[in-house]
Chain A
Amino acid sequence: MRTALAIARKDLRQRIRDRSALVVGVIAPVVIAGLMSFAFKGVENFTYTLGVVNLDHGAVSAGLVQALETPQLRHVVTVRPLPSAAVARSELRAGKLGAALVVPAGFSASVATSRPESLLTLSSDQFAIAGQVTKSIAASFVAQLNADRLSVATALAAGAPPSELSSLAGLASRLRIPLQSVERPLGAHQLKVISYYSPGMAIFFLLFTISYAARSFFVDRSQGMIERMRAAPVRPAEILLGKALSVFAYGSVSLLTIGVVTSLAFGADWGAPLPAIVIGLALILAVVFLTALVIGLSRTQRQAEGIASIVVFGLALLGGNFFFISSAPSVMKHLALLTPNGWALRAFTDLATIGGGFGTVVEPLVGILVFTAVVATAALLLAPRAVRV
């Protein structure tokens, strides 16, 4: 063990002396997480101004305007009445509106006929999300309207006198379609962008340790240092353990530093410290064995660099380090759970939203450990040959 510690200490000394260690281990992940958070700020608290052109001035369009000012929509949409569609288009082009909704003249009257008028939504590529939200609002309102029309038509067909038409319409409008989708965070807290990208970037740069450590092993070998170690009374396992310890120590310091800095500087929420640390350590263990596997699979430094790049970027892409995995297609969500970083991100996200302690991270922890066990088995079979002279 003393020899393994000596090897780890020497590796860390070299790593720290190399200035890129600070950049890759701390500065880059913190800066990129900050930039990502800034770039996606709008997604976190989405609001926009909706221009409403009411050319109808009837009861139905009044209901629409009223619906837009309900508490559910008020925190997303700021309604601005406009005189005409031309003004709406002009303001949209000027970037003063996110989208616009035009209620055509005679809209209310047409609802009772067999050929109702259509609502018109205006949007621009500049505010694509606002356009989508407006279309959804319009579609939702029209669906409600159609449900009302169906109710009245059913009542009349069942024998209600036509003189009761207006009271029937009033009754129907007070009913609501029972199934409505309501966006609500899964946990007690909404996930902040910085709380996703801080661990995302920290993990991504932690994965880079695989590349650095594998390369450093082959540099050692080409410099004759592995041979020198083997000529001394040192077991191959001690050499590998020493290398693993240095990766573990470097990864731990890097992850912890990023956690503290992003929490204090940007208010990132990593969840309860102890479960977060356990997940971090499990992930670093996975990185240690991934490094050993890359070393075991490679014959030369160039091969090691190539394989490590594939592993790092493959895991980062599949695990969701670059994008919100929750908004990815279902297949990506499943693939993310084949990666230790995907599980770790899920754990950190759950800790930040649901809260709780170890109970919250049991499933991700098991996921990471299963991955680690599989990789460790392969690494322990392959890596010892790398220290043969």
Chain B
Amino acid sequence: MGASLVLECEHLAKRFGERVAVEDVGFSIAEGEIYGLLGPNGAGKTTTMKMVCGLLTPDAGSISIAGRQAIGNLDVKALVGYVPQDVALYPDLTAKENLEFVGRLYKLDRRTLAERVNEALELTDLADRRDDRLDSYSGGMKRRLNIAAGLLNHPRLLILDEPTVGVDPQSRHAILERVQAFGREGLAVVYTTHYMEEAERVCDRVGIIDHGRLIAEGTRRELVAGLGQQDSIELGASGDLERLAQICLAVPGVVKAAAADHSVRLVANDGRSILPALIEAADAGGFAVTSVDVAEPNLEAVFLHLTGTALRE
């Protein structure tokens, strides 16, 4: 990797009482790189991000941002832009007032603040609504402004925590385009999501986190290559999908099986050839298969292979 490292985390650990939230997590991100942190809800993504932002103090491990030790270092926070999962802005203030307030938190002087607010509003296509109160905005516009607020301090590292949750397709597309542009502009980005297709689309590298541990890391190609010649199969069905997953797992060639929303996801050797046996087994178990999708291995299959569970459970 030619670019310099912006974020380096080593052996991060965090407990809440008896519960282990994060254990021995380490990863690094270079300038211009978009790093996806993938995992189901409760996997430890947000705890990891909060430690990187300085919102939580790790029980163990180290965090370095732009070569500077970050834990307990207030100044380093000025190098980080944080976009929380929920829109964290005041509904009774205008877009401009919200951004000015956030900019003042970063101690921007008056002139710089005015420039950055204009820039952030232009960047997120909200300049013409600058004087409207946030409670008059659509959900997508609020999300865009939420991202704009994370850019005001011109960060070296931008942390986006599930920025597209609850956003309409058009706004989601715009946000993903913008995130890709951040990478091209040299920003190091941490992008947490549980949407596989988003991670596949925007992330240069992906870390898969489950039960507080980073269980795999690499580019999409590297992670998928780990599956060998296996295919990803999705069987659409209804009823007790856990039982259907068990039935499928008994079919020779099926490596992993997990129930998801209205479907069962499988990783199998030579998926196309075992399809008739799968459908027959499902039928014998009293399940009507409503759809079948066989795909080249993807991150979803990687996650299923590594954890034995579907990501969107």
Residue pair A228, B88 in contact (C-beta under 8 Å): yes
Residues of A within 8 A of B56 (CB): 389
Interface string of A215-249 (1 = CB under 8 A from B): 00000000111011111111100000000000000
Interface string of A193-234 (1 = CB under 8 A from B): 000000000000000000000000000000111011111111
Interface string of B92-124 (1 = CB under 8 A from A): 110001000110111100000000000000000
Interface string of B141-157 (1 = CB under 8 A from A): 00000000100010000
- A2 CB within 8 Å of chain B: yes
Residues of A within 8 A of B90 (CB): 10, 14, 223, 225
Closest to B56 in A: A389
Residue pair A233, B75 in contact (C-beta under 8 Å): yes
Residue pair A10, B93 in contact (C-beta under 8 Å): yes
Closest to B149 in A: A228
- B84 CB within 8 Å of chain A: yes
- B50 CB within 8 Å of chain A: yes
Closest to B106 in A: A232
- A173 CB within 8 Å of chain B: no
B74, B84, B89, B92: which contacts A233 (Cβ < 8 A)?
B74
Total cross-chain contacts (CB, 8 A) = 68
- B7 CB within 8 Å of chain A: no
- B55 CB within 8 Å of chain A: yes
Residue pair B106, A231 in contact (C-beta under 8 Å): no
Per the 8 Å Cβ criterion, residues 1-28 of A in contact with B are 2-3, 6, 10, 13-14, 17-18
Per the 8 Å Cβ criterion, residues 105-132 of A in contact with B are none
Residue pair B86, A389 in contact (C-beta under 8 Å): no
- B130 CB within 8 Å of chain A: no
- B80 CB within 8 Å of chain A: yes
With A223-B88, A224-B84, A231-B54 as known contacts, state yes or no: A10 contacts B101, CB within 8 Å. yes
Residue pair A230, B86 in contact (C-beta under 8 Å): no
CB of A318, distance to nearest CB on chain B (Å) = 35
Residue pair B86, A224 in contact (C-beta under 8 Å): yes
Q: Tell me the complex Cα distance, A228–B149, Å.
A: 10
With A2-B104, A230-B55 as known contacts, state yes or no: A17 contacts B84, CB within 8 Å. no
Per the 8 Å Cβ criterion, residues 183-227 of B in contact with A are none
Residues of A within 8 A of B97 (CB): 10, 13
CB of B34, distance to nearest CB on chain A (Å) = 20
Residue pair B53, A231 in contact (C-beta under 8 Å): yes
CB of A230, distance to nearest CB on chain B (Å) = 6
Interface string of A159-183 (1 = CB under 8 A from B): 0000000000000000000000000
Question: Chain A contact residues: over half helix, strand or loop, or mixed?
Answer: helix
User: What is the number of residues of chain A that contact chain B, defined by CB distance less than 8 Å?
Assistant: 21
Closest to B104 in A: A6
Residue pair B74, A231 in contact (C-beta under 8 Å): no
- B82 CB within 8 Å of chain A: yes
B50, B80, B87, B105: which contacts A389 (Cβ < 8 A)?
B50
CB of B96, distance to nearest CB on chain A (Å) = 12
Closest to A232 in B: B105
Residues of A within 8 A of B86 (CB): 223-224
Residues of A within 8 A of B92 (CB): 14, 17-18
B75, B93, B149: which contacts A14 (Cβ < 8 A)?
B93
Residues of A within 8 A of B84 (CB): 224, 227-228, 231
Closest to A239 in B: B105
CB of B279, distance to nearest CB on chain A (Å) = 47
Residues of A within 8 A of B91 (CB): 223
Q: Tell me the complex Cα distance, A18–B106, Å.
A: 27
Residue pair B54, A225 in contact (C-beta under 8 Å): no
Residues of B within 8 A of A18 (CB): 92
Q: Tell me the complex Cα distance, A329–B99, Å.
A: 56
Residues of A within 8 A of B106 (CB): 232-233
Residue pair B77, A232 in contact (C-beta under 8 Å): yes
Residue pair B88, A233 in contact (C-beta under 8 Å): no
Residue pair A6, B105 in contact (C-beta under 8 Å): yes
With A233-B75, A233-B78 as known contacts, state yes or no: A228 contacts B105, CB within 8 Å. yes
Residues of A within 8 A of B89 (CB): 223, 225
Residues of B within 8 A of A229 (CB): 105
Residue pair B101, A224 in contact (C-beta under 8 Å): no
Residue pair B88, A232 in contact (C-beta under 8 Å): no
CB of B72, distance to nearest CB on chain A (Å) = 12
B88, B104, B105: which contacts A224 (Cβ < 8 A)?
B88
Residue pair B105, A234 in contact (C-beta under 8 Å): yes
Residues of B within 8 A of A224 (CB): 84, 86-88
Interface string of B13-55 (1 = CB under 8 A from A): 0000000000000000000000000000000000000100111
Residue pair B75, A231 in contact (C-beta under 8 Å): no
Residues of B within 8 A of A233 (CB): 74-75, 77-78, 105-107
Closest to B88 in A: A224
B78, B87, B104: which contacts A3 (Cβ < 8 A)?
B104
B88, B93, B149: which contacts A13 (Cβ < 8 A)?
B93
Q: Which residues of A contact B (CB under 8 A)?
A: 2-3, 6, 10, 13-14, 17-18, 223-225, 227-235, 389
Sample of 7 further A-B pairs with CB below 8 A, known A10-B101, A227-B84: A3-B104, A3-B105, A223-B90, A224-B88, A230-B54, A233-B74, A235-B74
10 pairs of A and B residues whose beta carbons are closest in the complex: A224-B88, A6-B104, A232-B105, A231-B82, A233-B77, A389-B55, A228-B88, A231-B53, A233-B74, A10-B101
Q: Which residues of B contact A (CB under 8 A)?
A: 50, 53-56, 74-75, 77-78, 80, 82, 84, 86-93, 97, 101-102, 104-107, 149, 153
